[in-house]
A and B are shown apart, each in its own frame.
Chain A
Amino acid sequence: MQIPLSWLKEFVEIDVPVELLAEMLTKAGLEVSHLHYIGLPQTKVEGVRYPQSDHLVWDRERLLLGAIREVKPHPNADRLVLAMVDYGGAELEQCVTGAPNLFEFKGLGVLPHPLWTAFAAEGAEVWDGHSDTPKRMTLKGKELRGIYNKSMVCSDKELGIAEDHDGVILLREQPRTAHGQPHAPGTPLADVLGDVVLTVELTPNLARAWSVLGVAREIAALLDKDLRQPSHQVIMDGAPINGQVFCEIRQPALNPRFTLMLLRDATIQPSPEWMQWRLKLCGQRPINNIVDVTNYITFEIGQPLHAFDYDQLVARVGGQAPTIITRLPEAGETLETLDQVNRELQGENILVCDTAGVLSLGGIIGGAETEISATTRNVLLEAANWHFINIRRTMQQHKVFTDAGVRFSRGVHPSQAILGVQRGMELMRQTAGGQVAKGVLDLYPQPLPMVQLDLPIREIERITGIAMEATTAADYLSRLGFDVTIEGPVLHVTVPDHRMDIGTGVIGQADLIEEIMRVMGYDAIPTTLLDDLLPEQRNNDALQWEEITRDLLVGLGLRENISYRFTTPDREQALIAPNGRDLNAHMDYVQIANPISPEKSVLRKTLLAGLLDNVRANLRYQSLQRVFEIGSVYFARPDQELPDEPRRLAIVFAGARQATNWSIKTSEDVDFYDLKGVIEGVLRGLHIPKFSFTRARHPSLHPGRSAALLIGDLNVGAFGELHPVIARRFDLADVPVMIAEFDLDLILGAVNGLHHIQPLPITPAILEDIALIVKEEVNAADLERLIWQTGGPLLKDVRLFDVYRGPQLGEGQKSLAFSLTYQTDEKTLNDAEVAAIRKKVVKAAEKQFGAVLRSI
């Protein structure tokens, strides 16, 4: 909301710089996000930081109020005129200007009433009106088509008021001071039009402050000043309203109050310049006097108004006095609203109707048929009140968000309707003439009860920690308009009738405490550290082991990714190779009902699609990629409202095994065993005792180069080389890619935080290498397992250190070389004892795998 400081000053005395005022409002919860200076200088306030503004400060000597007495034609140019300006000097100043809004006065001789304008004398600094980007310029004398010119009349843009450069500022009425004294020509312009417009951001609970009066009320409380209420006296000299219009409320819960007044013989014309000026500063385009008054009142006191063309209402019912009815729609009813949309009305849309049909969507937007037009003579003015939640729901249903609707949706108190209709009607009478029908048609069937509650003073201390005198608390509340009486340690509080946000009982007490703190100022609250009983402290094992897993992966050289949890079924379907079985197919996606974009339509069921996309993008910058992600996937559950959200760990390796540089000129590609080594590293780091690997059929993996990870008998996921078809789909066909995805909950479920260590040996070990020739199809792990099984208790370690194939071994043969460690704490072993064990091992290998001992 934009609010001119000059308008605020109509309601409250402001004796602090606007920068300090902005800081105070911000701290009290009315965030002032911007100060738009119009000609006035910025004030430095100690302790207040405010963005330095680069606005134009109006030169008090050279930017003056001018009065154009005559507009003469330019002798040499049709598109220029000569404005003869009285700026308080001895003679009129001749300004050459091309302002189009002066042309209608050209050649009329001396004007009967001068046109008031902004006059800039030589040397004045203004914005360049012809520049697209903000650019300052200083006025210098020069010839314009043969006429010497050293001053100008200014547009909004040149003065930094608004972006308009369609013409110069022209006022037909002589500007006046706040006290009604006319400003003389030559008065510094800053004293006439200088202002500061505050942009105030309001949270939804601040409906009461959504107006100039509302903000002024907050200022009055903060500065401890009196609030000057606007007058709502109306001069009513027409016939009584009774009999000219009737009214009926059918849904008092949705439409608590409805008020009407009638103005006859109004003249539709532009509204007065002071009103247009204010509306413009508030960001509202002026339209005509009737519509402008409805907007003006909305800004001023926060009560939206709606004006009907009374004669149209009469015509709709065949010349009778109309009856306004507020009700819910009948089946199939529609309404064409002011924005030319034909709307199908729904269930709880509260409507303003007459006996002939629907007139407007109550509290939100009017109908096209009965709106004010240039030929309107008689105006029926509505100020009503609507239930805020119903208004919000209706706006969302129809996707129409008007100033009036948004205000009502935040909660306007019904008491404001009567003020609004009276003040609005009087302003219409003053600006459009005519006679106001006597009386207000005011339907308020179930007046809201006055809210009264008690606040024990100790409750303030219990919640805030501040011991406060009852009188102090009462003072803060009364500054905001609360009526407070003190009885011992208790405040009896009556809530003022502009507020809907104060509850009763313990909730109301919290509401009041907040108000007391706001007025006192949050700066004044001291700081303490918690000295309450420390609650029971707990570990979070799931998180702790998840973080340890991250640390292990980082230690192994992997970089963590965090991806969008949104994806599409198509993207994840791309991970299923032809004829592959989607392992997640039996679980449904969590589908987003209102996706922000088509590629974010569901929550992911796998981390792999996102990681592969990341790797693809990053291969542009580095030929080596090792990344992981730990995070949730989401499976809808048919039997439960909320989905399952298990944790997954995914890893992707792509490209080279090693980074190359000046010394390491080439690198081999990553392969299955690079990935397997990292997985083993993580499992060892987590001290998971019993893990093993088995061949896997996984829809995303190369069938020959993939494995499943087993912990005990539990399959916790698979890893291996990305299936070549899928690599093509992810545009990764040109690099080797290894992937893994595991159920992290299952892995971490196997973690036992108390693993036991092996004591260090006290005797020397005997190391021995043996190489066994076996057929190609024998798995190294199977041979290793056999060695372990036959080696007996003295065998302490078995490590494969070489795999060799060569012509001397013959086709289809390979040699697997193992390093064996023998040791016992009981004695130092000798060669004979070791030889005996080796013999047993070799014999078993011969028997089971047809192995031949190649060398020792």
Chain B
Amino acid sequence: MLDQLETLREEALAALQMISDSASLQAWEGQYIGRKGALTQLLRGMGGLSPEERPIFGKTANEVKQILTAAHDERQQLIQDRELAQDLEQGEIDITLPGRTAQIGGLHPSTQVLRRFYQIWGDMGFQVYRTRDVETDDMNFTMLNFPPHHPARDMQDTFYTTQPDVILRTHTSAGQIRAMWEYGDHGTKPIRVVLPGMCYRFEQITARSEVQFHQIEGIAIGKNIRMTDLKGTITEFAKRMFHPKAGVRFRASYFPFTEPSMEVDVECCVCGGKGCNLCKYSGWLEIAGCGMIHPVVLQNGGYDPAEWSGFAFGMGPERTAMLKHRITDIRYFWANDQRFLGQF
């Protein structure tokens, strides 16, 4: 019997030497040291041995099992290492195939730019105050120092509704007086708000003009608000919205509801001021209109213009997006062509 153990050991070790893959190794394990393997078979025959032989046989069989198990584990490690090495070396896929498309949503570019406005102005203490699209002629014009039939009204071609004196707001300035009334507490409290919203003008739809467009208006009213603050605040905004080193230019202009009034240009973001198609070769891009709030408007909002002062500014989110992303046609915004929207 001990001879048989010895033979088994030699035969098994010899067979193990020939094995080079996991499947054969598993088969070898079954054949020799598994539950139904040869070693188990031999141990079952142990009943035929004398009581003196049994412990010796048992001890030897155990030794053989340990040797074979150790040899098996060693072999297994070898094979696993080789197989791992093989997989690492040969398991290449074509990584140039496109990924499986995930369903990607996205915000409209106007929303994205508006949020940027909210953020920058919010940091400076201006909160969002929204008012209505359909307004009275009074709120949109008369209270803002555009008397009826005044030539300043020529600057803003208006959509009228069939309801007398009800129009579509031509600018978000239409909400100024409402904001002053609601937050100013009869002209006793300072305010700082921005008023975003859709505005409407009776204009032919072209690459440069639309019948509807967003605006964002800002007003700050207090007892110590000066033109130098207006210039500094707008410059700060332009640097954050466009470029930290962007040059800013202020030009005199005219809006009935501010005085002095200014228009603001930033250095063209495409050509850096050298002149290009976008800036019509002037090096400057117009980004805002602004000014010190006209005394008449302060009065209409409940403030005493001898004591209070303030500034107002107005900007166009679509125009801003056009400048930042070099969009050459404003009609893209409401066409909702996914080939355009998909780029944001």
Contacts and interface: CB of A to CB of B under 8 A. Distances in A.
A614 B222 contact: no
A658 B103 CA distance: 8
A799 B280 CA distance: 62
B211 A596 contact: yes
A803 interface: no
Interface string B41-58: 000000000000000000
Interface in B44-90: none
Interface in A40-67: 49-52
Contact of A540 (B130, B200, B254, B280): B130
Contact of B251 (A522, A565, A627, A641): A522
A203 interface: yes
Interface in A95-151: none
A530 B202 contact: no
B198 to A, nearest CB: 7
B338 interface: yes
Contacts of B223: 532-533
A388 interface: yes
Contacts, number: 283
Interface string A553-577: 1111111111111100000000000
A662 interface: yes
A392 B133 contact: no
A632 interface: yes
Interface stretch (B18-26, B30-38, B149-157): B149-157
B338 A542 contact: no
A29 B160 contact: no
A29 B211 contact: no
A76 interface: no
A522 B250 CA distance: 6
A531 to B, nearest CB: 7
Nearest to B105: A554
Given A529-B236, A564-B334, A594 B229 contact: no
A447 B55 CA distance: 141
A277 B293 CA distance: 45
Interface in B197-241: 198, 200, 202-205, 211-212, 220, 222-229, 231-233, 235-236
A658 B334 CA distance: 26
B133 A530 contact: no
A666 to B, nearest CB: 14
B116 to A, nearest CB: 12
A624 B103 CA distance: 10
A390 B148 CA distance: 11
Contacts of B190: 532-535
A622 B338 contact: yes
Contacts of B229: 465, 528-532
B162 A593 contact: yes
Given A462-B309, A554-B106, A661-B98, A600 B336 contact: no
A632 B305 CA distance: 36
Interface in A516-564: 517-518, 522-523, 525-540, 542-543, 547, 550, 553-564
Given A465-B228, A517-B260, A535 B125 contact: yes
B198 A557 contact: no
B36 to A, nearest CB: 36
Given A51-B281, A537-B125, A206 B254 contact: yes
Interface in A487-512: 506-507, 509-511
B192 A534 contact: yes
A464 interface: yes
A747 interface: no
Contacts of B110: 562
A737 to B, nearest CB: 16
A603 B133 CA distance: 10
B189 interface: yes
B42 to A, nearest CB: 45
B95 interface: no
Given A507-B295, A530-B229, A559 B159 contact: no
Nearest to B260: A514
Interface in B245-285: 249-254, 259-262, 273-275, 280-284
Nearest to B299: A506
B130 to A, nearest CB: 7
Contact of B224 (A531, A556, A622, A645): A531
Given A410-B151, A506-B295, A563-B334, A462 B135 contact: no
A253 B177 CA distance: 32
Nearest to B132: A645
A801 interface: no
Contacts of A625: 338
A642 B251 contact: no
A49 B275 contact: yes
B8 interface: no
Which of A461, A596, A625 has the most C-beta atoms of chain B within 10 angstroms of its own C-beta?
A596
Contacts of B236: 529
B120 interface: no
A28 interface: yes
Given A557-B105, A559-B106, A463 B292 contact: yes
Interface string A618-658: 10011011110000101010000111010000000000001
A528 B228 contact: yes
Nearest to A551: B107
A28 B254 CA distance: 11
B317 to A, nearest CB: 11
A392 B189 contact: no
A590 interface: yes
18 contacts: A27-B252, A49-B275, A389-B148, A390-B149, A392-B154, A464-B227, A506-B295, A509-B295, A510-B292, A513-B260, A518-B252, A522-B262, A523-B250, A542-B130, A561-B341, A562-B110, A562-B333, A564-B334
Interface of B: 97-98, 100-108, 110-111, 115, 118, 124-125, 127-130, 132-136, 147-152, 154-155, 159-163, 165-166, 168, 183, 189-192, 198, 200, 202-205, 211-212, 220, 222-229, 231-233, 235-236, 249-254, 259-262, 273-275, 280-284, 292, 294-296, 305-306, 309, 333-339, 341-342
When A and B form their complex, which 4 residue pairs have the shortest distance between CB atoms, in order from nearest? A51-B281, A465-B226, A29-B252, A557-B103
Given A204-B154, A510-B294, A592-B159, 12 more contacts: A392-B150, A510-B259, A517-B252, A527-B231, A530-B232, A535-B190, A560-B105, A566-B212, A590-B134, A593-B162, A617-B337, A625-B338
